[in-house]
Amino acid sequence: MATLNLNAIKKSFGTADVLHDISLAIEDKEFVVFVGPSGCGKSTLLRIIAGLEEASSGSIVIGGEDVSHAAPVDRGISMVFQSYALYPHLSVYENIAFPLRVQKMPKEELDARVKRAADILQLTEKLQLKPGQLSGGQRQRVAIGRSIVREPKVFLFDEPLSNLDAALRGDMRVELSQLHRELDATMVYVTHDQVEAMTMADRIVVLNAGKVEQFGTPMELYHHPATKFVASFIGQPNMNFVPAKVRDIVGGLTVDLEGGHQMTLPVETEGVQIGDTVDVGIRPEHVTLGDDGLEISVNVLERLGGVSISYGTIGKTTRFCASLPGDAPISEGTTIRLTVAAEDCHVFQSNGQVLRRKSAPALVA
């Protein structure tokens, strides 16, 4: 069992508080992705798990064992970095075998482990080559091989694909997901790329300024973002936020959106007052072209074939992006009307917290 528990982890560098009270329970064999903007504390948290950095307070438990003060080598973890430092003068085989040589592992077992890792990573044909003879993606696979042979309880990855070009990153995403299935291991993966997070994770931790904004499955974060930050971070193109004034709070939340449209949204209205300003979150893919609804000025239209992405404004200056059918009969410099279902709208208070949706009404027998 390789569960990973973080209990109230805090970290300060001098007077700078970088991590605030982070608690997470990661399950055995789970693939968890930490995602957030640059500087939010992802690497620091990963380095604390690895034992490369000490937490200011809090504890780390791996497989039921408190490792808060254990040395990195005694934690049963293995870390792969963005810059994969391979030894240029050693063969692929020796690069992968390196940590086992350090452990003085008997030859036969070492050989079996290196060959198995090479097989999983499709490096069998490359074992005698030097790193300089490999592509970027192959080199990153050698670095991953070096961490596989140690048979860690938990794999840690810090933006391992950031140095690769876009096409290769896409391929490696698929390979890493396959690797996770084959190894059946607990993995924690750090990235600032929400597409990597959405496509690879069993569950995602969204970090913002050293705090956990939300921890959930990709679809939970997409359909039920807890905060405006999560809503703006997850989903492509990004969610639109339209400022609105609260007109009524009985039987849902009735708002006047900037640009003049009125809607009643099925959300809890506790703590909301008439006259408050809220943000109505609308995903670009949740609107349809119609004869009424939101009035949008189209500034730029990108025809991608299957879809057309319209970039425009609602009201005076609020940006509004819409994802429409590829052959949508619209053009730049015109005004269009878009409808959106009330159930597809998210409402955020000025403090960024979402107003919970009303649960579906109970069926009357």
| Binding stretches for ligand ADP (CB under 6 A) | 13, 16, 18, 36, 38-44
Q: How many CB atoms lie within 10 A of CB 310?
A: 27
Judged by beta carbon, residue 43 or residue 227, the one nearer Mg ion is 43
> For residues 267 and 47, what is the distance between their CA atoms, to the nearest angstrom?
40
CB of 215 to ligand ADP, least distance (A): 16
CB of 237 to ligand ADP, least distance (A): 23
Yes or no: say if 309 and 321 are a contact pair by the CB < 8 Å rule. Answer: yes
Judged by beta carbon, residue 126 or residue 192, the one nearer ligand ADP is 192
Binding partner of 340, given Mg ion, ligand ADP, none, CB within 5-8 angstroms per partner class = none
Judged by beta carbon, residue 43 or residue 240, the one nearer Mg ion is 43
Amino acid letter at 27?
E
43 lies in the binding site for Mg ion (CB under 5 A): yes
Q: Which stretch binds Mg ion (CB under 5 A): 41-49, 67-75, 116-124, 252-260?
A: 41-49
The residue among 34, 71, 189, 19 whose CA lies nearest residue 8 is 19
Phi, psi for 256 (deg, rounded to 5): -100, 115
Binding partner of 39, given ligand ADP, Mg ion, none, CB within 5-8 angstroms per partner class = ligand ADP
CB of 99 to ligand ADP, least distance (A): 24
CA pseudo-torsion sign 6, 59, 85, 179: negative
Binding partner of 44, given ligand ADP, Mg ion, none, CB within 5-8 angstroms per partner class = ligand ADP
CB of 84 to ligand ADP, least distance (A): 17
Binding partner of 18, given ligand ADP, Mg ion, none, CB within 5-8 angstroms per partner class = ligand ADP
Alpha-helical runs (H) found in the chain? 42-50, 92-102, 107-120, 136-148, 166-183, 194-200, 218-223, 228-233
Amino acid letter at 111?
D
CA pseudo-torsion sign 262, 264, 267, 272: positive
Judged by beta carbon, residue 35 or residue 120, the one nearer ligand ADP is 35
Judged by beta carbon, residue 42 or residue 283, the one nearer ligand ADP is 42
Please give the structure tokens belonging to residue 75: 């934690």
DSSP 8-state class, residue 288: E
Judged by beta carbon, residue 41 or residue 145, the one nearer ligand ADP is 41
Give contact residues for Mg ion (rule: CB under 5 A).
Answer: 43
